[in-house]
Amino acid sequence: MSLRTIDSLGDLSGKSVLVRCDLNVPLKDGEITDDGRIRASLPTLNALVNSGARVVVVSHLGRPDGAPDAKYSLAPVAQRLSELLGKGVAFASDTVGSSADETVSALANGDIALLENLRFNAGETSKDAAERGDFAAKLAAFADAFVSDGFGVVHRKQASVYEVAELLPSAAGLLIQAELEVLERLTRTPEAPYTVVLGGSKVSDKLAVIGALLPKVNTLLIGGGMLFTFLAAQGHKVGASLLETDQIDNVKGYLDEAARLGVEIVLPTDIVVASKFGADAEFVTTPADAIEDTEFGASGLGLDIGPDSGARFAEVISASKTVFWNGPMGVFELAPFAAGTKAVAAALTTINGLGVVGGGDSAAAVRALGFTDDQFGHISTGGGASLEFLEGKRLPGLEVLGWQ
C-alpha cells in the first residue's frame, strides 16, 4: 500500500480541510527566532488555499502540560504565517471551543485559520486511546478531509496525527512527501561514498541509528557530546566532559562492528576544552587523547571539536556523494564553540550529491550560523522522526496514511 496524497481526496473546492502542520518554532520573548518550519508548510497550505478549500490549520508548540499557557501560544505563528502567505490568517484563541467554532464557521472558500496550540488539550498527547479519540472527534468535526503535513510528529501516536486520520478521508501533504523521498534515498538508494555525521549530546540517543546505518555507509563521523563516550571506549580520559559510562560497552561493540564491516569511524583528533560551560569561559585546543593534560586538568570540559578535526570532517564530507548529518559538533550557541559545527555545515554546501541536514538542533544551527536553506540539498523538519525512520522503526503517523 502506498502513501495517500492530496490528489486522492478529489476536488476540495468548498470543502473544509483540517491540516496538521508542525509549526513548533523557537520563541524568545514572544518573537520567532527561526521560521523554517512555517516556511516548510507553505507549499501544502498554498495548494489547498488555491484549490478553494477552507483551510483549518492545527499544530503544537512547546510542551505545555495539557492546559493553556500564554508563553506557548501560537498567536505569533499566526502573524508570521499571514506574512508569508500574503493573506490574512484567522486565529482562534482555543482549539475546540467557542472561538474555534466561530473562526471555522466564518471561513469562506480559499480562507485559512490557525487554531490555538493542540497541546493546551490533554487529549492530544494522552496515553489513553479513548481520550485521544474524543479529542480527535472534536477536531474532525471541523472538516470534510484531513491532510497530515507535520513530519516532525509522525513518529508520535497523538490525536491530531493518528486518530484524526482514521476519522476523516486523509492524505499526506507535500512536505511529508518531500521528506519521505529524501529518506528513501538515504536508506534504499544512497550513492557512494555515503557519509553520516552524528553529533549532539547523548550517544544513547544515536546508538540505534548507528546500528541501522553501519551496514549502509562508508564513513561515520562522530562529534558533539557523544564523542566523549567513544573516546572513553578507546581508553582515553575525558575530564569533566559529557560521558555516558553505561554506554561504553555498547560503543565498543559498534567500533568492533564497524571494523568488521569495513566502515571507517572518524573521531576528532583535537578538542576545544573549556574551564566551564559559558561564553566567557577560558578555553584551549588540545589533542583528543590529552584532554586532562590542559591547565584545567580533570575539570576541563570538551565543548567542541578542534580545528584539525573540523578540517578533516570537511574533507570527508566534500568528497562524499551522500551525506546525512544529525546533531551539532559542539555548543554552537556559544560563539567560542561553534567552529566545528560551522565547518561541517560549510562542507555540506559543497558536495556534488545529496546533503541532508537532519532537522532538530542541526537545522537550528545552520540558520543560526548564517547559512540559508537553499545552500543544502534538504533540511529536514523532523529530527526525531528522521532518526526513527532511518532506524527502520514503524511510524504510526505514516502508517495511518497507507505507508508501509
**Positions marked active-site:** 37, 202, 360, 384
Integer Cα distance of 92 and 74 in angstroms = 9
Question: Is 156 annotated as ligand-binding?
Answer: yes
181 belongs to an annotated ligand binding site? no
* ∠ CA 320-322-327, rounded to 5°: 100
Of 318, 365, 367, whose CA–CA distance to 340 is shortest?
365
Binding site annotation covers 119?
yes
Distant-in-sequence contacts of 206-212, Cβ < 8 A, 24+ apart: 206/326, 206/327, 206/387, 207/247, 207/250, 207/251, 207/254, 208/387, 208/391, 209/326, 209/387, 209/390, 209/391, 210/254, 211/254, 211/257, 211/391, 212/390, 212/391, 212/392
23 in a known ligand binding site: yes
Reading the block at residue 6, the C-alpha cell is 492530496
34 marked among binding-site residues: no
66 is known to lie in a ligand binding site: no
Please check if 54 is assigned to a binding site.
no
For residues 256 and 288, what is the distance between their CA atoms, to the nearest angstrom?
20
Paired with 274 in beta bridges are 283, 301
DSSP helix, strand, coil percent of the chain (3-state; round to 5):
45, 15, 40
- Quote the crossing angle between the two packed helices 383-391 and 360-368, to the nearest 10°: 130
292 is an annotated ligand-binding site residue: no
Alpha carbon distance, N-terminus to C-terminus of the chain: 6
340 is in an annotated binding site: no
The SS3 of residue 118 is helix
Residue 362 annotated as lining a ligand binding site = yes
Instruction: Answer whether 362's CB lies under 8 Å from 355's CB.
Output: no
Q: Is 392 annotated as a binding residue?
A: no
The answer on whether 28 is annotated among ligand-binding residues is no
Which of left, alpha, beta for 54 (phi over 0: left; psi -120 to 50: alpha)? beta
The answer to whether 4 is a known ligand-binding residue is no
Query: Does 183 appear as a known binding residue?
Result: no
Asked if residues 359 and 380 have their Cβ atoms less than 8 Å apart, the reply is yes
Q: In what order do the strands lie in the sheet with 16-20?
A: 90-91, 112-114, 54-58, 16-20, 145-148, 170-172
Residue 128 marked as a ligand binder: no
Q: φ, ψ for residue 60 (rounded to 5)?
A: -105, 170
Binding residues for ATP: 206, 302, 333, 359-362
Binding residues for substrate: 22-24, 37, 60-63, 119, 156
Binding residues: 22-24, 37, 60-63, 119, 156, 206, 302, 333, 359-362
